[in-house]
Amino acid sequence: MLKSMKLVSALVLVAGLASACTNTGTPIDQFGQKTQLGAVLGATGGGLLAAATGGGSTGIAAGVLLGGLTGGALGNSLDNEDRRLMKRTSQRALETSRTGVSTPWHNPDSGRSGHITPTRTIERADGSFCREYQQTITIDGKEERGFGKACRQPDGSWRTA
């Protein structure tokens, strides 16, 4: 299992570095290119899911690739209002929601929806906070999940870590 988790970590790191090529230090309220965000979230979720279900190295790699492709297509489907609602909800959830409590968003014009659920709060040595979270997006009845971590900035905003 440890070997699987190391592989997932390496693949997630590669996905993160690839996304950093166009947008480093992206605040959670300025996701950048929606396809790229979806691909990174999908790759992360796919790799973690494969590892959690006991997938070997090949299964985990396939989960990362399939998740990245699915997530990229999903991210490309979000319009500006979807992203605005998602970012506003993400900021509010990370700032005020208790761990395990989901905060939903819904765009009545597109029918798209989602929610963000903080899953863990971490206090860093400097007294600032980071939160791990799960994000779900539903488009045309199809639900996709992503996982991430964001840290609170001095101005009160949350930035993906």
Structural domain boundaries enclosing 102 = 98-160
Whether 65 is in a domain gets the answer yes
Contact yes or no for 134/117 (Cβ under 8 A)? yes
What total number of domains does the chain contain?
2
Task: Write the DSSP assignment of 61-113 as a string of letters.
Answer: HHHHHHHHHHHHHHHHH--HHHHHHHHHHHHHHHHHPPTT--EEEE-TTT--E
Judgement on whether residues 8 and 42 belong to the same structural domain of the protein: yes
Question: Rounded to 5 degrees, what are φ and ψ at 135?
Answer: -120, 135
Domain boundary among 23, 45, 77: 77
pLDDT score of 95: 95
Judgement on whether residues 25 and 69 belong to the same structural domain of the protein: yes
pLDDT score of 89: 95
Judgement on whether residues 133 and 73 belong to the same structural domain of the protein: no
How high is the mean pLDDT in each 10-residue block of the chain (161 residues)? 42 41 41 50 54 53 51 65 92 96 96 95 95 93 90 92 83
Q: Give the global pTM.
A: 0.57
Alpha-carbon span 121 to 131, nearest angstrom: 4
pLDDT score of 38: 55
Judgement on whether residues 66 and 103 belong to the same structural domain of the protein: no
Whether 82 is in a domain gets the answer no
pLDDT score of 7: 39
Judgement on whether residues 10 and 65 belong to the same structural domain of the protein: yes
Domain boundary among 46, 77, 108: 77
Whether 89 is in a domain gets the answer no
